[in-house]
């Protein structure tokens, strides 16, 4: 009788241990599978962001904008690398229901041919994406601005931002938690923009400084939006990438000028482009202001080449 009871207990013990092991493996497998599915989905979203920003290349328009909506709160990470052409690594993480506030991000998508200005980590349900061209003095690229926040532009000059971007209010700021961007003066400002352009410009804000979180960011032209919408680290990195590319395009123009010369389409820009290419290719954000003066000179020369202009 005692033996039978012992056997009965052993059978139960065995079943509990084996059943527990199977249950553990099943739960572990389900969690791992859930993680893999989430990683896959987040990686796909990051890749999709790279693709859906393609139509935002402005072409000959002043700019363009779009909206990306997610079904749950999503964090977009932007890591910038500035070696040569550099890249923006975009990854996406979703909010976690348990444990850490955010799940681990999916695989990052490297974007080498675009310049995405955003915070290093921004989170929200709806993201607004808009783009502006960067000409220095020829077209270098389109700048892409990505933000989930609402903005209120106080005392903004005419033509800023120049697009009916829904998350940027210029007159009658009504959204309570909007980031207040003040041009020159204003109350309760989160971001200040000080224009300093005195000659050869359409507006005093064609060149200046954006002050954000106590940090100064120098800008020229449409880079102002980059300074407003991104962190200092992302901004400086993207500027170095843009200037490197501007230098490479200058080198290409020098070679193109030789080909045009062979067809009797001479240009007097070669010497300027050689100097410009060296200067801009090794420049940083601190050199923007002095470079802008030079762009005006080169652009005037190119416009003067009525028959065989380079751009």
Partner 1 sequence: MRNVVRGQMKIQQMAVMIVAVFFFFVLVGLFFLGIVFKDVKGSAGDLQKEQAISSLKVIADMPELNYDSSWSMCVDEDKLRVMSGNFGRTYDLFWPVASVEVYRVYPKFDEVKKCPGVGCNYYEVFNNGQRDLKTYSSYVSICRKVRESGSTYDDCEIGKLVVGVKQASSAENR
CA 284 to chain centre: 18
Residue 26 as a binder of partner 1 (CB under 8 A): the answer is yes
Residue 38 as a binder of partner 1 (CB under 8 A): the answer is no
Q: If DSSP codes are grouped into helix, strand and coil, which group holds residue 149?
A: coil
Q: Residues of 142-179 as b/e, b for ≥16 C-beta within 10 angstroms?
A: bbbbbbbbbbbbbebbeebbebebebbbbeeeeeeebb
Contacting partner 1 within 120-159 (CB under 8 A): 133, 135, 138-141
Nearer to partner 1, 40 or 293 (CB): 40
Separation between Cα atoms, residue 281 and residue 142, nearest integer Å: 18
Sheet with strand 109-111: strands edge to edge: 109-111, 87-94, 63-81, 121-135, 139-147, 115-117
Which backbone phi and psi does 173 adopt, to 5 degrees? -70, 115
Residue 11 as a binder of partner 1 (CB under 8 A): the answer is yes
Stretch that binds partner 1, among 12-20, 150-158, 186-194, 285-293 (CB under 8 A): 12-20
Residue among 241, 261, 276 nearest 308 (CA):
261
Contacting partner 1 within 256-275 (CB under 8 A): 256, 259-260, 263-265
Nearer to partner 1, 69 or 264 (CB): 264
Q: Which of 126, 255, 286, 296 binds partner 1 (CB under 8 A)?
A: 255
Contacting partner 1 within 72-111 (CB under 8 A): 84-85, 111
List residues near partner 1 by CB under 8 A.
3-4, 7, 10-11, 14-15, 18-19, 22, 25-26, 29, 33, 37, 40, 44, 47-48, 50-51, 54-55, 57, 59-60, 84-85, 111-113, 133, 135, 138-141, 248-249, 251-252, 255-256, 259-260, 263-265, 307-308, 311
């Amino acid at each position: 009788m005692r033996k039978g009871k012992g056997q009965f207990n052993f059978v139960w013990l065995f079943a509990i241990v084996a059943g527990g092991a199977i249950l553990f493996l099943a739960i572990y497998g389900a969690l791992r599978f859930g993680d893999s599915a989430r990683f896959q989905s987040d990686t796909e979203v990051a890749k999709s962001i790279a693709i859906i920003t393609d139509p935002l290349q402005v072409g000959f328009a002043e700019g363009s904008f779009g909206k990306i909506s997610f079904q749950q709160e999503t964090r977009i990470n932007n890591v910038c690398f500035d070696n040569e052409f550099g890249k923006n690594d975009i990854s996406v993480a979703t909010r976690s229901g348990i444990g850490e506030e955010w799940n681990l991000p999916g695989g990052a998508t490297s974007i080498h041919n675009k310049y995405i200005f955003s915070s290093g980590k921004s989170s929200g349900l709806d993201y607004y994406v808009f783009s502006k061209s960067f000409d220095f003095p020829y077209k270098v690229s389109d700048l892409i601005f990505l933000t989930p926040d609402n903005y209120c532009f106080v005392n903004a000059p005419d033509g800023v931002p120049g697009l009916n971007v829904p998350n940027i209010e210029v007159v009658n700021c009504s959204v309570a938690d909007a980031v207040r961007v003040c041009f020159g003066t204003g109350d309760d400002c989160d971001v200040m923009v000080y224009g300093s352009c005195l000659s050869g410009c359409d507006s005093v804000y064609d060149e200046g400084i954006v002050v954000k979180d106590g940090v100064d960011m120098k800008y020229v032209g449409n880079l102002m939006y980059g300074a407003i919408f991104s962190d200092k680290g992302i901004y400086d990195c993207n500027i170095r990438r843009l200037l490197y590319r501007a230098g490479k395009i200058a080198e290409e123009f020098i070679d193109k000028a030789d080909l045009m010369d062979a067809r009797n389409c001479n240009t007097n820009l070669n010497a300027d482009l050689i100097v410009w290419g060296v200067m801009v290719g090794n420049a940083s954000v601190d050199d923007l202001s002095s470079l802008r003066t030079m762009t005006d000179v080169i652009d005037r020369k190119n416009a003067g080449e009525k028959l065989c202009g380079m751009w």
